[in-house]
Amino acid sequence: MAVTDPTATRPRPTRARTTTLPTGANGPLHVVRLGPQGRVEVPAGWTSAWLPIAGALDVEAGGHAWTLPRHEVLVWRDGPVRGRAARAALLVAGPHAAWRAPPAGATEALDPPLVLPTEHPASPALRRAALRLARSAGDPSVHGRLDDRLAAFAAALREQQFDLRARLPRCTGRTAERREHTMLRLLRVQHLIRRHSDGRLDTARMARCASYSPCHLIRLYREVFDETPAEYAARLRDERAWQLVRDTALPVAAITDALGFESASAFCRAFKASFGVTATQARRAATAACAEAA
The Cα 264–Cα 284 span in angstroms is 18
Q: Between helices 146-160 and 124-136, what is the axis angle to 10°?
A: 160
**In angstroms, rounded to a whole number, what is the distance separating the alpha carbons of residues 96 and 48?**
9
> Does residue 60 register a pLDDT over 80?
yes
| Same fold for the pair 6-165 and 234-293 | no
Name the residue with higher pLDDT: 199 or 291: 291
Q: What is the pLDDT of residue 218?
A: 97
The highest-level CATH class for domain 234-293 is mainly alpha
Q: What is the per-residue pLDDT across 175-234, written as a single tens digit (0 to 9) for each?
A: 999 999 999 999 999 999 999 877 778 899 999 999 999 999 999 999 999 999 999 999
Residues 207, 276: Cα–Cα separation, whole Å: 33
The one-letter code for the residue type at 270 is A
Determine the pLDDT at residue 8. 32
**DSSP symbols for the chain:** --B--HHHH-PSP-TT-EEEPPP-S---BEEEEE-TT-EEEE-TTEEEEEEEEES-EEEEETTEEEEEPTTEEEEE-SS-EEEEESSEEEEEEEEHHHHHSPPTT--S--SS-S--S-EEEPPHHHHHHHHHHHHHTT-GGGGGGHHHHHHHHHHHHHHHTHHHHTTGGGS--SSHHHHHHHHHHHHHHHHHHHT-TTS---HHHHHHHHTS-HHHHHHHHHHHHSS-HHHHHHHHHHHHHHHHHHH----HHHHHHHHT-SSHHHHHHHHHHHHSS-HHHHHHHHHHHHHHH-
The confidence band for 96, taking pLDDT boundaries of 50, 70 and 90, is confident
User: Tens digits of per-residue pLDDT, 74-93?
Assistant: 999 999 999 999 999 999 99
How far apart are the C-alpha atoms of 237 and 243, rounded to whole Å?
10
The per-residue DSSP string of 108-165 comes to S--SS-S--S-EEEPPHHHHHHHHHHHHHTT-GGGGGGHHHHHHHHHHHHHHHTHHHH
- Domain boundaries in the chain? 6-165, 176-226, 234-293
User: Is the pLDDT score of 154 beyond 80?
Assistant: yes
CA distance 29 to 102: 12
Does 289 score more than 90 pLDDT?
no
Average predicted confidence (pLDDT) for the chain: 85
pLDDT for 17 equals 53
Q: What is the pTM of this model?
A: 0.84
Which residue type does 253 have?
A: A
Architecture of domain 6-165: Sandwich (2.60)
Label residue 146 by pLDDT band (50, 70, 90): confident
Q: Are 130 and 25 in contact (CB under 8 A)?
A: no
- pLDDT digits over 218-243, tens only? 999 999 999 999 999 999 999 999 99
Q: Amino acid identity, residue 55?
A: G
pLDDT score, position 111: 52
The 10s digit of each residue's pLDDT in 2-31 is 444 343 334 344 344 555 566 555 668 889
* pLDDT at residue 94 tops 70: yes
Tell me the C-alpha distance between 254 and 164, whole Å.
34
pLDDT digits (tens, 9 = 90+) for 245-286: 999 999 999 999 989 898 999 999 999 999 999 999 999 998
Residue 20's pLDDT is what? Answer: 55
